[in-house]
Structure 1
Amino acid sequence: MKVYALVGPTGTGKSYRAPHLAKEHGIDCIIDDGLLIASGRILAGRSAKAELSKIRAAKVAVFYFPNHREEVKKALQELAPEKILVLGISLPMVEKICERLELPKPEVVWDIFHLAPLDEIQMALVARESQGKHTIPVPLVEVKRNLWSAITDALPVGVWRWFYTSREKTVVRPPFSYLGKLIVSEAALRTLVFLCLVHTPWVQKVTAINLHRTERGLEVELSCVLQNGSSVAEVCRFLQQYLRERVEYLTGVELQAVHVDVEGVLFPSWQPSRS
């Protein structure tokens, strides 16, 4: 199986352009915002655009939920495509999707800014920001059949023939587009990390928490004093996994790395016995 990736920021027209790329390169199916799409039909999954909040939408888009993930994996095994196109806002996001669906890493990566004219991307961004418009690369009949009750508004666009083709699309307004933007501040993330740490039985004191934004995402550096009685290495590995899972679950923000610096281990104070 050969995996292609189409990456670019949210609202730049990836879903609109994906069917054209698939047709041009003989790609069998598309993974876009939680859906597995082939020949203009939704074969499996659920759309992130049908979620009520942006946090849940982000989780659906990267197949965070086990039942959703297993449904799409099973459909992919039955379909056995030779070529597949995965859409994401960045290459790390596409790689995360491939990892969760047990797909090979992308061999070909397209950047939307290298494929679409700048004025077209600008129009897509304006439509997203001002009107909350999102594109699903399937005909309106597929949206009605699979998502209609969860989509606030929908209309068909781009019918090239008397009967729909794989290039027909539907513009929708997801429920979360009416709720405004959700921004998680660094102060809130730092407080959340602190609360997660102090509620574990091994952390006696948190001395520092620093957040760093990199090209691959958010990294956390923390310093702490541990309680005596457990393996330091095992506790650190647990804290890394625990923080990544809890922060992503509670905020939708994915931590790319968690660095733990143990400043010390607290031993219980010794009191001499009295005779």
Structure 2
Amino acid sequence: MKVYALCGASGTGKSYRALSIAHENDIDYIIDDGILIHKNCIVTGISAKNASTKMEAVKRAIFEDLEHRSNMIKAIEKNDVQSILIIGTSWKMINKIAARLDLPDIYKKINMEDIATKEEMDEARKSRMEKGIHIIPLPTFEVKKHFSGLFTNPIKLLFKDKNSDIKEFEKTLIRPTFSYMGKYYISQKAIRQIVTYEMTKFEDVCQTISIDIKHNRSGIKIDIKVKLKIVEILRQCESIQEQLMNTLENTTLLSVNSINIHIVDIC
């Protein structure tokens, strides 16, 4: 087995470049933040990007948990992995991952400084620090089955294979449950005020009767009781849900799990 490694500081764009490195070096598998990736699919693992705290994320990335580690070793053996790329923030971290997963010595080491300019890495850091955005080298449909958090537009890449056939790959941008911006708290009163104000923008809403907000580890759930006019009720509810979802996520940076509209009266 050939083991490749990509090393770079947090937020410098390692996951962004992972697919191109794998394509250029004919690497079949990628280990990124605690998961094993093969051909646009998660083979096994528990992603650090789906952790609720930064400390938990670090432990997942280095396979601190024995069951997590054992499942990864078994998956690598079962799939007869011949080439693999490990992504890490330091060589100490990468070596620890390789040792814990019983992988052979690293065949090729790649530093972010050698494949990306300072300006590119600074821009990637800015996106991480200001928006909490992470990139996962998987298509969005695959990511949504395993991750919680706010998803944004995917990035599509085109590569030529050995036969000059064009292949399309997709990367997903996600703001995970934990954030590099640190812990913060937004009161239910503030969220309720935003929702109340947004509801006044809908002409077909006669009255907002109640707004119930529930917080959980992955985001918030909102239940709204309204009095509506009898004009395409389903369309009105979908419009309310979409507009509130966009406004709350852009305003508060919270992940909104669901917005449920309960029609309790008509006018």
The TM-score by the shorter chain falls in which range?
Answer: 0.5 to 0.7
Gap change, CA 1:41 and 1:165, over 3 Å in 2: farther
Partner residue, 1:194:
none
Q: What amino acid sits opposite 1:176 in the alignment? A: F
| Residues 33 and 87 in structure 1, CA contact (< 8 A), matched pair in contact too | yes
Gap change, CA 1:166 and 1:91, over 3 Å in 2: farther
| Residues 29 and 36 in structure 2, CA contact (< 8 A), matched pair in contact too | yes
Secondary structure in 2 aligned to 1:107?
strand
CA distance in 2, matches of 1:15, 1:78: 25
| Residues 29 and 81 in structure 1, CA contact (< 8 A), matched pair in contact too | yes
**Deviation (angstroms), 1:82:** 1.2
Structure 2 unaligned residues grouped into runs of 5+: 160-165, 184-267
**Deviation (angstroms), 1:160:** 3.7
Whether 1:39 aligns to 2:56 is: no
**Deviation (angstroms), 1:154:** 4.1
Secondary structure in 2 aligned to 1:10?
coil
Partner residue, 1:235:
none
Partner residue, 2:16:
16
Q: What amino acid sits opposite 2:131 in the alignment? A: Q
CA distance in 2, matches of 1:74, 1:155: 34
| Residues 151 and 173 in structure 1, CA contact (< 8 A), matched pair in contact too | yes
Secondary structure in 1 aligned to 2:95?
helix
Over the residues paired in the alignment, what is the CA RMSD in angstroms? 2.0
Partner residue, 2:69:
69
| Residues 7 and 88 in structure 2, CA contact (< 8 A), matched pair in contact too | yes
- State which drifts further: 48-57 or 65-74: 65-74
**Deviation (angstroms), 1:13:** 0.3
Q: What amino acid sits opposite 2:98 in the alignment? A: C
- What is the TM-score of this pair, normalised by structure 2? 0.63
CA distance in 1, matches of 2:170, 2:87: 17
Aligned residues: 178
CA distance in 2, matches of 1:104, 1:78: 16
**Deviation (angstroms), 1:179:** 5.8
**Deviation (angstroms), 1:3:** 0.4
Residue number among 126, 137, 155 corresponding to 1:157 in the alignment? 155
Secondary structure in 2 aligned to 1:11?
coil
Equivalent residues in 2 for 1:106-185, closer than 5 Å: 106-147=106-147, 150-160=148-158, 167-177=169-179, 180=182
Partner deviation per Cα, 1:174-226 (whole Å, 9 max, x = no partner): 11117617xxxxxxxxxxxxxxxxxxxxxxxxxxxxxxxxxxxxxxxxxxxxx
Structure 1 unaligned residues grouped into runs of 5+: 182-275
- Which protein is richer in strand relative to its size? 2
Partner residue, 2:80:
80
- What is the TM-score of this pair, normalised by structure 1? 0.61
Gap change, CA 1:111 and 1:77, over 3 Å in 2: same
Secondary structure in 2 aligned to 1:158?
strand
Partner residue, 1:238:
none
| Residues 62 and 96 in structure 2, CA contact (< 8 A), matched pair in contact too | yes
CA distance in 1, matches of 2:181, 2:122: 23
CA distance in 2, matches of 1:36, 1:133: 21
CA distance in 2, matches of 1:90, 1:102: 19
CA distance in 2, matches of 1:92, 1:128: 23
| Residues 20 and 167 in structure 1, CA contact (< 8 A), matched pair in contact too | no
CA distance in 1, matches of 2:9, 2:18: 14
CA distance in 2, matches of 1:126, 1:80: 39
- Matched-pair identity in %: 42
CA distance in 2, matches of 1:132, 1:12: 13
